[in-house]
């Protein structure tokens, strides 16, 4: 039986299980009053005692209009409760945002800077090396920009910044702000997350510009942090190719050192040979010996001619013949000694042996000189390439001195909170309506 088609009398002090609103209970009492009065009057006339309150009186005939009115009343009351709850949620969220903005939030100041990573290879250096540097300059600049941006937002940059200016101590002043509070004992992950929240570095691939935005709780700290980070970016960009440059320079310098040692050893060996053989130029000595042999052979021919003349003139037995013959013998012996000095391989002091050692030393000295020239040119090229590959920061706009806090902007925060809470309440109401309709069906 329907609850609205029956009237039940409850004892005093006993409450129904189903709680009703004030309006619904008032309507129910009004509906029950006539029936109870009629029942009590009939019992008094008949002299019968009244029924106990626990007994249920006879139900009134159902009234469709009354049922429809009660349903409408219940729906309106539920809609009012939902609207009141939604308004309360929106007002509470807006009130909390206002309390945070005007009483708890710490004002933050923003200092911004823009710079680009450049190198000498992008400045239009002429020559072959300049063309080689320009061929990879665009790609290198693009890569260097991303590398510098990642460094500025890394934990290493945070440690370096804290070592230079005490960044963590500067950021622990906002103790009343629950959202921007930093503890000195925070782990590395929390420190990095807070640092990335307060320092924003962006790289524009099209323009090749790095934009740096720094937030701090005082204008002085914001400018100090932005200036220090710009210096750190410049130093880091200079170290980008330092390892490769150092390796190239070290290899080139080692080649030059080996070439110098080789050339020095060749000079020492040649000097020792000349000192040992008492000769500055063995080729000149050989030419002088050859010229001497030629002169001796000329004299020998003259002496032989003179001896033949003596024979033809029948003066062969004269004392002059003996003199001529002695001179011929002397010339032959002298020519033999000079030839032995020149071409006898059995003699260590022969020109043949000396000229072989001398030419070997000359060739070694020449090769050592050419190797030294090549190594020196390689070192010069390495230095040129190293200077071309060096990176530096070109400032486009330096860090500014902030005058007004950039956050929080009170009316913007309150307006955004109000709008977001409205959207959230509307979404929740829509979701609950869909769930309720599905449950009824």
Looking at residue 16, its pLDDT comes to 47
Average model confidence (pLDDT) for the chain? 76
- Report the distance separating Cα 242 and Cα 6, nearest Å: 95
Among candidate residues 8, 3, 4, 1, the one with its CA nearest the CA of residue 64: 4
The model's pLDDT over 107-139, given as tens digits with 9 standing for 90+, comes to 889 999 999 988 765 544 444 444 444 444 455
CA atoms within 13 A of residue 287's CA, in its CB half-sphere: 3
Pick the range with the lowest mean pLDDT from 134-148, 173-187, 206-220, 372-386.
134-148
Q: What is the pLDDT of residue 335?
A: 73
Looking up tokens 């934990």 gives 155
Task: Work out the pLDDT band at 318, boundaries 50, 70, 90.
Answer: low
Would you say 225 and 113 are in contact if contact means Cβ atoms under 8 Å apart? Answer: no
The answer on pLDDT for 160 being more than 70 is: yes
Residues 291/293/299/303 CA torsion (nearest 10 deg):
-170
pLDDT attached to residue 214: 94
Tell me what the mean pLDDT of segment 88-94 comes to: 89
pLDDT in tens, 411-432: 888 899 889 988 998 898 888 8
Residue 390's nearest CA partner among 116, 114, 115, 118 is 118
pLDDT digits (tens, 9 = 90+) for 235-294: 898 887 777 777 788 888 888 888 888 888 888 887 887 777 666 566 666 677 677 777
Dist. CA 369–CA 410, nearest whole Å: 79
**Phi (first) and psi of residue 212, to 5 degrees:** -120, 120
Under 8 Å between Cβ of 240 and 144 = yes
CB proximity list for 53: less than 8 A, separation 6 or greater: 9, 10, 11, 12
Q: How would you list the strands of the sheet with 199-204, edge to edge?
A: 199-204, 209-216, 109-119, 391-397
Percent of the chain with pLDDT strictly greater than 90: 15
Q: What are phi and psi of 403, to 5 degrees?
A: -110, -35
**pLDDT band at residue 352 using 50, 70 and 90 as cut-offs:** low
Return the ∠ at Cα 368 (arms to 365 and 370), rounded to 5°: 110
Average pLDDT over residues 46-65: 58
pLDDT for 243 equals 73
Do the Cβ atoms of 212 and 200 come closer than 8 Å?
yes
A 10 A CB-CB count for 171 gives 23
**Given the DSSP bridges, would you call strands 56-57 and 391-397 parallel, antiparallel or unpaired?**
unpaired
* pLDDT of res. 7: 39
Overall pTM surpassing 0.85 (yes/no) = no
d(CA 8, CA 59): 9
């Amino acid at each position: 039986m329907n609850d609205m088609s029956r009237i039940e009398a409850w004892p005093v002090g006993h409450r129904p299980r189903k709680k009703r609103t004030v309006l619904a209970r008032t309507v129910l009492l009004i509906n029950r009053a006539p029936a109870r009065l009629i029942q009590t009057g009939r019992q008094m006339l008949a002299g019968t005692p009244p029924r106990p309150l626990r007994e249920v009186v006879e139900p009134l005939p159902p009234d469709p209009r009354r049922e429809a009115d009660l349903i409408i009343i219940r729906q309106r009351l539920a809609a009012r409760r939902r609207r009141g709850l939604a308004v309360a949620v929106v007002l509470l969220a807006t009130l909390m945002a206002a309390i945070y903005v005007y009483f708890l939030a710490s004002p933050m100041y923003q200092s911004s800077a823009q710079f680009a990573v450049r190198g000498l290879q992008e400045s239009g250096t002429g020559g072959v090396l300049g063309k080689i540097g320009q061929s990879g300059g665009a790609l290198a600049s693009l890569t260097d920009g991303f590398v510098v941006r990642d460094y500025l937002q890394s934990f290493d940059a945070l440690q370096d910044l804290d070592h230079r200016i005490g960044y963590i101590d500067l950021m622990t002043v906002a103790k009343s702000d629950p959202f921007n509070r930093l503890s000195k004992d925070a782990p590395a992950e929390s420190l990095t997350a807070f640092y990335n929240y307060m320092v924003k570095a962006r790289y524009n691939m099209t323009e090749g510009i790095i934009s740096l935005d720094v937030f701090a709780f005082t204008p002085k700290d914001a400018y100090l942090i932005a200036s220090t980070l710009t210096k750190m970016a410049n130093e880091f960009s200079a170290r980008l190719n330092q390892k490769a440059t150092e390796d190239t320079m070290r290899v080139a310098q080692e080649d030059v050192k080996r070439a110098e040692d080789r050339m020095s050893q060749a000079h020492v060996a040649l000097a020792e040979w000349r000192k040992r053989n008492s000769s500055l130029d063995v080729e000149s000595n050989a030419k002088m010996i050859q010229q001497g042999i030629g002169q001796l052979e000329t004299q020998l021919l003259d002496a032989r001619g003179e001896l033949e003349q003596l024979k033809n003139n029948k003066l062969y037995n004269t004392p002059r013949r003996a003199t001529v013959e002695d001179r011929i013998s002397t010339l032959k012996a002298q020519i033999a000694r000079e030839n032995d000095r020149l071409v006898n391989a059995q003699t260590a002091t022969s020109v043949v042996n000396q000229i072989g050692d001398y030419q070997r030393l000359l060739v070694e000295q020449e090769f050592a000189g050419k190797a030294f020239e090549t190594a020196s040119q390689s070192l010069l090229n390495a230095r040129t390439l190293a200077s071309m590959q060096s990176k530096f920061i070109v400032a486009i706009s330096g860090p500014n001195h902030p005058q007004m806090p950039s956050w929080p902007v009170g009316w913007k925060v309150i307006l955004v909170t109000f709008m977001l809470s409205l959207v959230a309440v509307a979404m929740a109401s829509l979701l609950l309506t869909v769930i309720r309709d599905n449950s009824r069906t």
